[in-house]
């Protein structure tokens, strides 16, 4: 940390900037802190002005803009759901503690910028550590405490011990979540076995970390996630959907697979909050849905986060995803899968009341006169057809071709779908 880049004066010697950029980020420096440890800085490709690590950590001239006026200082209204300074109590059984304004690297898009990046912003939040503990202790409905900041792993060890010991001694607290970007931005802090032992000794600790790009998954990051896991602490990740950083399917898949490789479980994908000076990072919600469409079914479910929009007016996290429910009736729901197969699903074993009105498409599925619409030529169906053809050829070799004919003839792959009522599937080609 003592070697961290902390000023525009240092930055201008390390990366190329235009004069205009330098002028604007020089002015921003008076309002916002800038800290980048050498390790995280070393992940930046200096030749690429749009490098995803650079975008997250280096101030941008866009931070001076709030074009719509929609961006706010406290977009989630955390301060309005704060019963005592430093605590946000929004959900029935969870509370969030802001324990420090300090981070090992200041993410330019930080939701809590008012406390973390903003110079002097912390003064309006809290320093009453005992008050926060007392609040949790006197609210037996709180089961899960999110120890956040800033980054609690930048706290001096005795202060971190104070929080951990006091919280773990509260009987009704089942889970202590440490929200930290240290594994990503300063993993060396966790090379300290004493720190890992302290976290581990609190028994109830889960780690909530924050990788946003596959290039952040380095051998150093892997090493510390591994030592946290060996210390008995599950490691979950949230990412923020950021324009130019991870707002495309290929990067997102690479990130999620990389996390699985180091046994870090993707938990949330956050839509970027409307915080002042972060507007240039925000994508449409459609972009998030498009990415989620490319994940579910296409890759291991263990690697799929829940995409959430954090609601204005303190409404909390709202999950958003593509629609898998196409239609419904009293008898059945019409669902679609990741391949686009549209299927009738009868949840209860009741006879379908088939209306004689002639229908087609999804409506026919609802009425039960058809039971599935299959897109032409999905890989899975091609594999089925190939296997069925193989089986038919083998039957023929064994001399039972004529007996089994009914089973393997004419669209064998589709017949093996297990249809009810002899309903024939219909292929759709669009």
Ligand X SMILES: *Cc1c(COP(=O)(O)O)cnc(C)c1O
Hey, is 33 helix, strand or coil? coil
Residue 246 binding: pick among ligand SF4, ligand X, none (C-beta 5-8 Å cut-off by kind):
none
Residue 313 backbone dihedrals phi, psi, to 5 degrees: 60, 25
Q: Is 317 in the site for ligand X (CB under 6 A)?
A: yes
Binding test (CB under 6 A) with ligand X, winner from 6, 12, 62, 90: 90
**Is 45 considered catalytic here?**
no
Q: Which lies closer to ligand SF4 via its Cβ, residue 106 or residue 211?
A: 106
Q: Is 94 in the site for ligand X (CB under 6 A)?
A: yes
Residues in CB range of 50: below 8 A, 6 or more apart: 244
Per-residue contact flags (x/-) with ligand SF4 for residues 171 to 210, judged by CB under 6 A:
----------x-----------------------------
Q: Which lies closer to ligand X via its Cβ, residue 111 or residue 369?
A: 111
Helix 193-201 crosses helix 157-168 at what angle (to 10 degrees)? 20
Q: Is 309 in the site for ligand X (CB under 6 A)?
A: no
Spatial separation of the C-alpha atoms in residues 403 and 354, rounded to whole Å? 34
Q: Which lies closer to ligand X via its Cβ, residue 177 or residue 336?
A: 177
**Is 310 considered catalytic here?**
yes
**In the complex, what is the shortest distance from the CB of residue 151 to ligand SF4, in angstroms, rounded to a whole number?**
5
Q: Is 103 in the site for ligand SF4 (CB under 6 A)?
A: yes
Hey, is 226 helix, strand or coil? helix
For the chain, the first-to-last Cα distance in angstroms comes to 57
Beta bridge partners of 374: 427
**Is 110 considered catalytic here?**
yes
Binding test (CB under 6 A) with ligand SF4, winner from 63, 78, 151, 273: 151
For residue 303 the two structure tokens come to 């690697």
Residues 109-128 that bind ligand SF4 (CB under 6 A): 110, 112, 116
CB 392, CB 400: distance < 8 Å = no
Residue indicated by tokens 């064994």: 398
The window from 145-153, 216-224, 291-299, 306-314 that contacts ligand SF4 (CB under 6 A) reads 145-153
- Quick one: which H or E segment has residue 327? strand 325-328
Residue 36 backbone dihedrals phi, psi, to 5 degrees: -135, 110
Helix, strand and coil percent figures for the chain, each rounded to 5: 35, 15, 45
Binding test (CB under 6 A) with ligand SF4, winner from 32, 40, 106, 267: 106
Binding test (CB under 6 A) with ligand X, winner from 25, 103, 146, 147: 146
What is the bridge-based pairing of β-strands 316-319 and 306-311?
antiparallel
Per-residue contact flags (x/-) with ligand X for residues 376 to 405, judged by CB under 6 A:
------------------------------
Q: Which lies closer to ligand X via its Cβ, residue 91 or residue 338?
A: 91
What are the residue ranges of helices labelled H in 174-307?
A: 182-185, 193-201, 219-230, 249-261, 285-293
Binding interface with ligand SF4 (CB under 6 A): 103, 106-107, 110, 112, 116, 149-151, 181
Residue positions annotated with a catalytic role: 90-91, 94, 103, 107, 110, 112, 273, 310, 317
């Amino acid at each position: 940390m003592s070697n961290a880049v902390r000023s525009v004066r240092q930055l201008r010697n390390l990366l190329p900037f235009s004069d205009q950029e330098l002028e604007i980020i020089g002015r921003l420096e008076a309002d916002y802190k800038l800290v980048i440890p050498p390790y995280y800085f070393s992940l930046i490709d200096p030749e690429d002005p749009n490098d995803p690590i650079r975008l997250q950590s280096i101030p941008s001239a866009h931070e001076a803009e709030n074009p719509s006026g929609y961006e706010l200082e406290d977009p989630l209204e955390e301060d309005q759901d704060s019963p005592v300074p430093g605590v946000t109590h929004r959900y029935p059984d969870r509370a969030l503690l802001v324990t420090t304004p300090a981070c090992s690297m200041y993410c330019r898009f930080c939701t809590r910028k008012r406390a973390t990046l903003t110079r002097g912003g912390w003064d309006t939040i809290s320093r009453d550590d005992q008050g926060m503990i007392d609040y949790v202790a006197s609210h037996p409905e709180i089961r899960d405490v999110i120890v956040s900041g800033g980054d609690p792993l930048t706290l001096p060890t005795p202060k971190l011990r104070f929080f951990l010991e006091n919280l773990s001694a509260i009987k009704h607290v089942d889970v202590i979540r440490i929200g930290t970007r240290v594994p990503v931005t300063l993993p060396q802090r966790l090379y300290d076995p004493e720190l890992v032992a302290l976290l581990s000794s609190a028994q109830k600790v889960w780690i909530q970390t924050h990788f946003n790009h596959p290039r952040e998954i380095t051998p150093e990051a892997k090493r510390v996630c591994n030592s946290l896991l060996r210390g008995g602490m599950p490691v979950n990740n949230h990412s923020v959907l950021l324009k130019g950083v991870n707002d495309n399917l290929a990067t997102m898949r690479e990130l999620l697979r990389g996390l699985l490789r180091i046994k870090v479980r993707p938990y949330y994908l956050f839509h970027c909050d409307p915080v002042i000076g972060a507007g240039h990072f925000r994508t449409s919600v459609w972009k998030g849905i498009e990415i989620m469409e490319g994940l579910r079914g296409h890759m291991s479910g263990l690697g799929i986060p829940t995409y959430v929009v954090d609601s204005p007016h303190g409404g909390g996290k709202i999950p958003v995803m593509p629609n898998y429910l196409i239609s419904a009736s009293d008898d059945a729901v019409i669902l679609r899968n990741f391949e686009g197969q549209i299927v009738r699903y009868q949840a209860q074993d009741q006879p379908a009341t088939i209306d004689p009105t002639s229908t087609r498409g999804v409506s026919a599925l609802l009425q039960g006169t058809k039971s599935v619409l299959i897109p032409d030529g999905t890989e899975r169906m091609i594999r089925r057809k190939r296997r069925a053809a193989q089986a038919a050829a083998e039957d023929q070799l064994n001399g039972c071709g004529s007996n089994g004919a009914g089973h393997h003839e004419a669209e064998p792959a589709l017949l093996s779908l297990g249809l009810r009522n002899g309903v024939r599937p219909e292929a759709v080609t669009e």
